[in-house]
Amino acid sequence: MIDFHSHIDLYPQPADVLAEASRQGCYILAVTTTPLAWDGTRSLVAPFSRVRVALGLHPELVGERHKEVDVLVNRIPEARYVGEIGLDGSRRHRASFAMQETVLSKVLAACADNGGRILSIHSRAAEDGVLDALQAHPDAGVPVLHWFSGSRRALDRAIELGCWFSAGPAMLKTKKGQTLVQAMPRERVLTETDGPFARSADQPLMPWNVTDAEARLATLWETNVVATRAQLRANLTKLTGLIPAPSDDQ
């Protein structure tokens, strides 16, 4: 199983979560919300061979932490994965939206300068802004839109631009989420949880809860869980093959 968007460093007991995820054979992309968490999170996951860490600056934090974009850009040569990055156009973060656009553009330009990266991207209430930025930086790498919740028209545009998608239990339990995922090319879909932020039954989602998403995908794809897992695993292999690792440890 694959959790391609997890905030591992933000669980109260991340080492315990990693140990259990490892026991269950879960592949994890541990996204970060600030580039200052990059080194610590890499140390945390070092014992676990199926876990990778993405270098990020969350759009919801850009209002307060936009200066950290320089830290992020300086570390991009070392990072195969960049995220969580993106734009948030919801009311709460509208005041920082112009700043978010500047930060995203800088990050994507730096990714392009380094030959492209695998990107985990937030696009809530800002799908067209994210797609405009990706269109302006076509060499930034492979964008994986996490928990995409835009219109069908924006989804078609994202597909046209070559985006991939990660979908989790919280997205797949809604009718809208199911309809969107059904329209995504299944060879560009991965599972995620967005834990511990995303919750189910009032508990934070854990990486191994991607089994819920696998079951939903199997239904949407009119197949069984074994075939669904094989598809997701093949997708991950294909994705990582598209962007070479910049260093030995990634």
Interface residues with Mn ion (CB under 5 A)?
Answer: 84, 194
Comparing CA positions, the residue from 64, 70, 60 lying closest to residue 35 is: 70
- Backbone φ and ψ for 104, nearest 5 degrees, come out as -60, -40
| CB nearer to Mn ion: pick between 127 and 194 | 194
- 104 vs 231, beta carbon nearer Mn ion: 104
Q: Please, which residue, 194 or 212, has the CB nearer to Mn ion?
A: 194
CB of 248 to Mn ion, least distance (A): 28
Of the candidates 122, 127, 91, the residue with the CA atom closest to the CA atom of residue 107? 122
Gap between the Cα atoms of 111 and 21, Å rounded: 30
Residue 7 Cβ vs Mn ion, minimum distance, rounded to whole Å: 6
Instruction: Tell me the β-bridge partners of 190.
Output: 166
3-state secondary structure of 142: strand
**Nearest to Mn ion of 194, 214 (CB atom):** 194
Beta carbon nearer to Mn ion, 6 or 231: 6
By beta-carbon distance, which residue lies closest to Mn ion? 194
C-beta closer to Mn ion: residue 114 or 170 = 170
> 142: exposed, middle or buried (C-beta count within 10 Å: 0-12, 13-18, 19+)?
middle
Query: Residue 220 Cβ, how far from Mn ion at the closest point, in Å?
Result: 22
Nearer to Mn ion, 169 or 231 (CB): 169
Of 204, 176, 178, nearest in space to 189 by CA: 178
Q: Measured from the CB of residue 194, what is the shortest distance to Mn ion in angstroms?
A: 5
Nearest Cα residue to 63 out of 34, 31, 33, 93: 93
* In the complex, least distance from residue 14 CB atom to Mn ion, rounded to whole angstroms: 15
Q: Strand pairing partners for 165?
A: 145, 189
Q: How far is the CB of 2 from Mn ion (least distance, A)?
A: 15
Query: Sheet harboring 51-53: ordered strands across?
Result: 2-6, 27-30, 51-53
Report in angstroms how near the CB of residue 103 gets to Mn ion at its nearest. Answer: 16
Q: Would you say the C-alpha torsion 170, 44, 165, 21 has a positive or negative sign?
A: negative
Q: 118 to each of 31, 85, 165, 240, how far by Cα in Å?
A: 11, 11, 12, 8
